[in-house]
Structure 1
Amino acid sequence: MKQEEKNTKEHNSKGRLREILSVLKRYHITQGIQPDKLCAILEDLGPTYVKLGQIMSMRSDMIPEKYCKQLSRLRTDVKPLPFDVILGVLEQELGEPPEQVFLQIDSRPLGSASIAQVHKAVLKTGEPVVLKVQRPGIKETMAQDIALIKKASGLLNFAAGTGDLIDFRGIIDEMWETTKEEMDFFKEADHLELFYNNQKEISYITCPKVYREYSSCRLLVMSYIDGIQIDQTASLEELGYDMLEIGEKAAENFCKQILEDGFFHADPHPGNLWISDGKIAWLDLGMAGHLSDHYKAILKRAISAILKNDIYELKNAFLSFGTPKHKINHAQLYTDLDDLVGRYMNMDFGTMNVGELMEDFLDLLKTHEISVPSDITLLARSMITMEGTLKICSPKVNMLQILTTHMSAIMAKEFDIKKELRHSLRDIYSSSKKSLEIPAQLSDLLNITKNGQIRINLESSETRGLKEEMGHHINHLILTVLAAVFWCSSAILCLTDISPQIFHMPWLAFAGFCLGGIFMLYLLISMILRRKKK
């Protein structure tokens, strides 16, 4: 039986791989993959790949921004499952017929996505609820698709026009981990409860309540929130809502999530923000981000440095966000940050765009090859999404202004005059102590100079690059000379009668020609590879 199952899996895997390859062939990937073409390919490959595309859109540190923007527009709705299938999953997860738990279940889904389908229902107690039901076999199907796309990723990496822009192999594993977390509804239940506890003191914020007794890893039962999407401005204004107030409160709460809670909604698009009974309801916390105290402190430092135009502090905060893959060119980084901050400082504060600012910073991270944790890039993408939502529902609200105002309030609250005085006195004492050492150090420096022992070391990235380039040229010259020596020597040996002979030439001459050829072949290959790297 196990062998039959294995054969069936292999057969299905081969069939699915043929299907993937046929889609790739239909879109002529060897002619290049532009953002719109990538989206079309993912949609044709099915719900698994649509989900992956949505997650890819959040990783602008790994994928070019133009691809992220296009991928974020991927459709979220997919063909709904038959209601009989939903009832079957419910019975399996509840351990009893659904009618024993629910008075009524609406057969028409409220929404159908790649991982789950949502239905409205009523508990036996009369409470209206929402059932989030996972598609049967989706985890196994996605696992198979992930394995296949990793095999097919080689074709995508070799596609003309993309080069190394998209490291498909590097991001698939991370995306699979993210997707597995999203498929565990216990995680989403934890997110909802944590979010509720963080916001319970905020009278104008709400979120669905989780019914743990009916929920499982594949079924999430939540309280039903009836309301209107935040982007339905005409309907909300008819009911007397002030859209400016709604936008300001939504932005203020989002800033609280980032700067105070360290736990934020990672996908705040209009479909996940509803207005219900005068409250802003945050829905669908399947995708959420966590910020440690360390990263919250760095974020505050970075915002403060931008406002103060303190490039030195901004550079330190910038480097604290991630880990450089190579040695940093500090002079170039200072210049790039100075240009970036200068561009925004010349703007009127009210017109600053936090989305563009975050995109520019992510581009700078990629330029200087600084890798950052996924939660930081998730934060950047969620801030961009939040600003887009605000532009739709309340264009006058400035996200950056609210963010900085909120941060200033936090800093004022955390300000401790006694602590600051102690720090200042400690700094004054340290500076005074060091200043007393200056005359002695200056005297030592003058003595060294007088004796001719002074030496100044200067180093720059340009000098190091020039040294490396010269080293490569010298190595190539040596190889060329050696090849010429072997060939000339072999040509002279061909005039002798040394035996044995190979191809009518002395074996030593043959060996010399071969060695010279190997040197030249190595030289040509290394030159081609270096040119490709450039």
Structure 2
Amino acid sequence: MLSLTKTSSRQREILEVVFRNGWDYMRGLLTGGKASKPQLPSPEVLRNILIELGPVYVKLGQLLSTRPDLLPGRYIDALSTLQAQVPAVAWPEIEVLIRQQLNGPLEEIFAELNPQPVAAGSIAQTHKATLADGRKVAIKVQRPGIDLVIAQDIALIKGLAELVSISDFGSDFDLVALADEFSKALLAELDFTQEASFADQLRRNLSTSRWFDPKQVVVPQIYWNLTNKKLLVMEWLDGVPILSSSLSASQHLAGSRTNGTTDAAVVAEQRRAVTTLLFRAFFQQIYIDGFFHADPHPGNLFYLDDGRVALLDCGMIGRLDPRTQQILTEMLLAIVDIDSQRCAQLTLQLAESSPRVNLARLESDYDRMLRKYYNLSLSEIKFSEVIYEVLDVSRNNKVILPGSMGLYAKALANLEGVARTFDPEINLLDQIKPLITDLFRRQLLGDDPLQTLLRTALDVKSLSLQSPRQLELLLDRMTSETMHWNLTLRDLDPLRRSLDDSANRLSFSIVVGSLIMGAAIISAKAQTAQLLVPSNALFAAASFLGLWLIVSILRSGRLRS
């Protein structure tokens, strides 16, 4: 295990940051002293520690903010606002890296390339450029040397996870596996071809829909001939973040009257159209495609100059398998119906592991949680908060849910937050309730009802043909007494062993009693000294065996039972 107390510049820096911010529990672990009761620092302290440790740890905090299944809501809120405060890399260094990654001379590929970045992050920065054929593109360039920094910090993160995992603090979660998961996520962000593949897949999925107009949702096109692990070249889209476009977007959509004033009712209607479009697009991604943009924060949702909505930065993608999609769909219905018992059952179906879960307590916690919504209308319920509470109930009952649930909850929270800011009257449940019926119909009948009906008819036919023969075999075996029943009773072995022990002790007690009675009879009728010897021997043997039996019962701890 990597020791974090060995001297190195990076490890000393971590120690200094932890000490300076006053995380007493981690101070005890890192110094090898006796740690206090396991506890996280406050959300603000944790956020400050990650910021001071630098871009890689900011990225780690951003990844942690996608796991409300692991952290309480106040930590998710604090970490969600993390942004790496890093200056842009100087243009000469960026230019060298771009030239190294291109297949030809930079001057022949780009007619224009702006040396000033339009955005700078912890792993990459983005520049605007124009291709030789006049098409505008965005170039995402990896920061030089960031792969070495991430490799070094990943080693430290894994060492810290191993250190904490042996304490009481890490008893509830496999922190080593969690560190591996975050490490893989960090390393994946260094491969821009993966993000490009995600963008292509998302664009294909959103190209068709029966719930919204696919032409109104845009995912940037990828220029694969110029894209590799450290360089991502994609279509440039003219627009602004959706929250900063409220006024201009509304004016564009609604138009103006002859006197130059904007109709407020039309503006509100158009805002509702945009939020409905977003909700339905993400509803399809989550519940139909099982492949969704997991980071729809305000900076990644753009309102374009032509009135369309763009989804940017596809580096973080969530996946849901069909079984999980079905469970989550039923969970939606159970929440709307305020059905705590069904919520508990679905949670256990969804769980990766749930050792020794008290079902009655789980149902009680759900009942207490859902009771708050008994007298509220759907428009008053914040659906993302309900999902966070579901994760809190699961965490408090030691039910470990799949990591995809964290991305699912985070995506819904971000989406609902953006939508409520853009249109304060919007409600996610109001938007998706009309789609639930259609979703259940799809799960029952599939995309092609006729094909599903034919398949069901063939299954019924096969069953009808096989049933008489199976019934004949059953009756034949019953009448010929050749039928064997294979029964498996759970926890039968402990009961059998307990009965065996009880029977052995009873038999042993009878033998001891018989020895005592025989010794007493011989002693009573003894006329000579020769008969007293076997009598005393029998008494000694019976006493020894009786004492051994008592000690055995006491050691088993079952004297009172």
* Band of TM-score, shorter chain: 0.7 to 0.9
State the distance in 1 between where 2:193 and 2:185 align.
Answer: 14
Mapping of 1:363-382 within 5 angstroms?
363-382=392-411
Pairing 1:236–2:249 present: yes
- Of the three residues 58, 63, 66, the one matched with 2:66 is 58
2:286 counterpart residue number: 258
Q: CA separation of 1:159/1:18 partners in 2, compared to 1, >3 Å: closer, same or farther?
A: farther
State which structure, 1 or 2, has the greater radius of gyration over its C-alpha atoms: 2
State the distance in 2 between where 1:403 and 1:317 align.
Answer: 20
Query: How far has the Cα of 1:71 moved from its partner?
Result: 0.8
State the distance in 2 between where 1:24 and 1:155 align.
Answer: 15
Return 286-295 or 73-82, whichever deviates more. Answer: 73-82
Query: How far has the Cα of 1:226 moved from its partner?
Result: 0.5
1:16 counterpart residue number: 10
Q: CA separation of 1:60/1:309 partners in 2, compared to 1, >3 Å: closer, same or farther?
A: closer
Pairing 1:26–2:20 present: yes
State the distance in 1 between where 2:42 and 2:343 align.
Answer: 34
Query: How far has the Cα of 1:187 moved from its partner?
Result: 0.9
Query: How far has the Cα of 1:167 moved from its partner?
Result: 7.8
State the distance in 2 between where 1:155 and 1:388 align.
Answer: 37
Corresponding letter in the other structure for 1:361: V
1:301 counterpart residue number: 330
* Aligned 8 A contact 2:351 2:400 in 1: yes
CA distances 1:11-55 after superposition (whole Å, capped 9, x unpaired): x98111112212222222227721111111111111111111110
State the distance in 2 between where 1:72 and 1:103 align.
Answer: 38
Pairing 1:399–2:399 present: no
Corresponding letter in the other structure for 1:20: I
1:410 counterpart residue number: 439
* Aligned 8 A contact 1:63 1:166 in 2: no
Q: Report the 3-state secondary structure (helix = DSSP H, G, I; strand = E; otherwise coil) of the residue aligned with 1:324.
A: coil
- Of the three residues 191, 213, 227, the one matched with 2:198 is 191
* Aligned 8 A contact 1:39 1:71 in 2: yes
Mapping of 1:211-290 within 5 angstroms?
211-232=223-244, 233-240=246-253, 242-276=270-304, 277-290=306-319
Query: How far has the Cα of 1:312 moved from its partner?
Result: 3.9
Query: How far has the Cα of 1:403 moved from its partner?
Result: 2.6
* Aligned 8 A contact 1:350 1:401 in 2: yes
State the distance in 2 between where 1:116 and 1:330 align.
Answer: 47
Query: How far has the Cα of 1:340 moved from its partner?
Result: 2.5
* Aligned 8 A contact 2:51 2:84 in 1: no
CA distances 1:481-513 after superposition (whole Å, capped 9, x unpaired): xxxxxxxxxxxxxxxxxxxxxxxxxxxxxxxxx
Q: CA separation of 1:77/1:238 partners in 2, compared to 1, >3 Å: closer, same or farther?
A: farther
Relative to the length of structure 1, the TM-score reads 0.72
State the distance in 1 between where 2:382 and 2:199 align.
Answer: 30
State the distance in 1 between where 2:443 and 2:160 align.
Answer: 53
2:371 counterpart residue number: 342
1:453 counterpart residue number: none
State the distance in 2 between where 1:325 and 1:140 align.
Answer: 39
Q: Report the 3-state secondary structure (helix = DSSP H, G, I; strand = E; otherwise coil) of the residue aligned with 1:118.
A: strand
Q: Report the 3-state secondary structure (helix = DSSP H, G, I; strand = E; otherwise coil) of the residue aligned with 1:213.
A: helix
State the distance in 2 between where 1:29 and 1:52 align.
Answer: 18
Aligned residues: 420
1:115 counterpart residue number: 123
Query: How far has the Cα of 1:109 moved from its partner?
Result: 0.6
Q: Calculate percent identity across the aligned residue pairs.
A: 32
Query: How far has the Cα of 1:94 moved from its partner?
Result: 1.0
2:211 counterpart residue number: none
1:209 counterpart residue number: 221
1:35 counterpart residue number: 43
CA distances 1:149-193 after superposition (whole Å, capped 9, x unpaired): 344568888999x89799865532211111112221111111111
* Aligned 8 A contact 2:103 2:226 in 1: no
Corresponding letter in the other structure for 1:67: Y
Relative to the length of structure 2, the TM-score reads 0.69
Q: CA separation of 1:171/1:412 partners in 2, compared to 1, >3 Å: closer, same or farther?
A: closer
Query: How far has the Cα of 1:307 moved from its partner?
Result: 2.8
State the distance in 1 between where 2:443 and 2:318 align.
Answer: 24
CA distances 1:71-113 after superposition (whole Å, capped 9, x unpaired): 1111245210011111111111114332221111111111100
Q: Report the 3-state secondary structure (helix = DSSP H, G, I; strand = E; otherwise coil) of the residue aligned with 1:271.
A: helix
Return 317-326 or 79-88, whichever deviates more. Answer: 317-326
State the distance in 1 between where 2:171 and 2:326 align.
Answer: 34
1:171 counterpart residue number: 178
Pairing 1:141–2:149 present: yes
Structure 1 stretches of 5 or more lacking a match? Answer: 1-9, 427-458, 460-534
CA distances 1:191-246 after superposition (whole Å, capped 9, x unpaired): 11111111113121111000000100111100000112110212222333522211
